[in-house]
Amino acid sequence: MAMRRTLLTLAVCGALLSSSAAAQAAPEPPPGRLFHYGSHARQNVTVYGDEGPALMIVHGGYWAKDTDWSGRARWFAARGFTVYDTDYRLTSDAVWPAQRDDVHAALRWVQGFHGGALPLVLGSSAGGHLALQAGAYGAGRARVRGVVALSPVASPYRAWLDGAKRGASAERRALRRAAERLAGCVPTWAAGRGCSARWADLTVASHASGADDAPLLLVHSAGDFVPSVHSAELARAQRGAGLSDVTVRTVDGPAHGGPLLRDPATSRSVLRWLRSHA
């Protein structure tokens, strides 16, 4: 009996030592490195990884709050990308087009930091709107290699209208208010108030210029509170202007933005698209 207890103790100790060694053999991913591309506190980039194509991530959050993409940034870095997790001024800091200006400034910084190579951009929800603006405003292909947008608010004006409909969900009502804060005015289209030009500028399709713009992968879920019509309208505008590399996908379920990547098939398809455009 004593011998059995001794052997059992040795076995338990061996298992503990083995698990400890395994833990040491698989260390936690290193933390990101923080840099600033401007003087404002939010104008910063956290870099994960140090080799592979540049992938810039633009978070969502109704243009009004920061959301954490560090886990997914590490996931993409582990799959061969240098990831630039990018913050920008929120609507509590400034109205449009400050957010687009920040993304453009960050893209210039990333390109310089990455040896001059154009980055890919992945944006989610409100960040998808900003990513699409980066790929379409002016000659987007000159600054962006390709854009993946998850549940992008491609038309804040459409979101503003949808949020006022009878039975609109809490998320759609919140998005309506967020779009109004972003614009800094309601879309009354009154002459002299600046609203018509600003709301038109917010709509990505108004900047569609076809071959001058970046390739697009646009993803929504069937139950997304930002419906796929946002991306369908943009895709029609871009194809009509001559951009052929545009893909719109609608997946099952109610996921919105980053949670779309929890589905293995969706995350694999996004990864394949990014690698094919790197």
- CA 218 to chain CA centroid, nearest Å: 11
Element (H, E) at 264: helix 264-277
- CA 55 to chain CA centroid, nearest Å: 10
Dihedral sign from CA coordinates of 173, 176, 182, 188 = negative
Q: What is the mean pLDDT of the chain?
A: 90
Task: Give residue 104's identity as a one-letter amino acid code.
Answer: H
Q: Which CATH architecture has domain 31-277?
A: 3-Layer(aba) Sandwich (3.40)
Q: Which residues of the chain have pLDDT under 50?
A: 1-27, 190-192
Question: pLDDT tens digits for 134-162?
Answer: 999 999 999 999 999 999 999 999 999 99
Distance from C-alpha of 45 to C-alpha of 5, rounded to nearest angstrom: 56
pLDDT at 104: 98
pLDDT at 72: 97
Provide φ and ψ at 180, rounded to 5°: -65, -40
Question: pLDDT tens digits for 170-201?
Answer: 999 999 999 999 999 988 754 445 588 899 99
pTM above 0.75, yes or no: yes
Domain residue extents for the chain: 31-277
In b/e form, how buried is each residue of 47-64, taking b as 16+ CB within 10 angstroms?
Answer: bbbeebbbbbbbbbbbbb
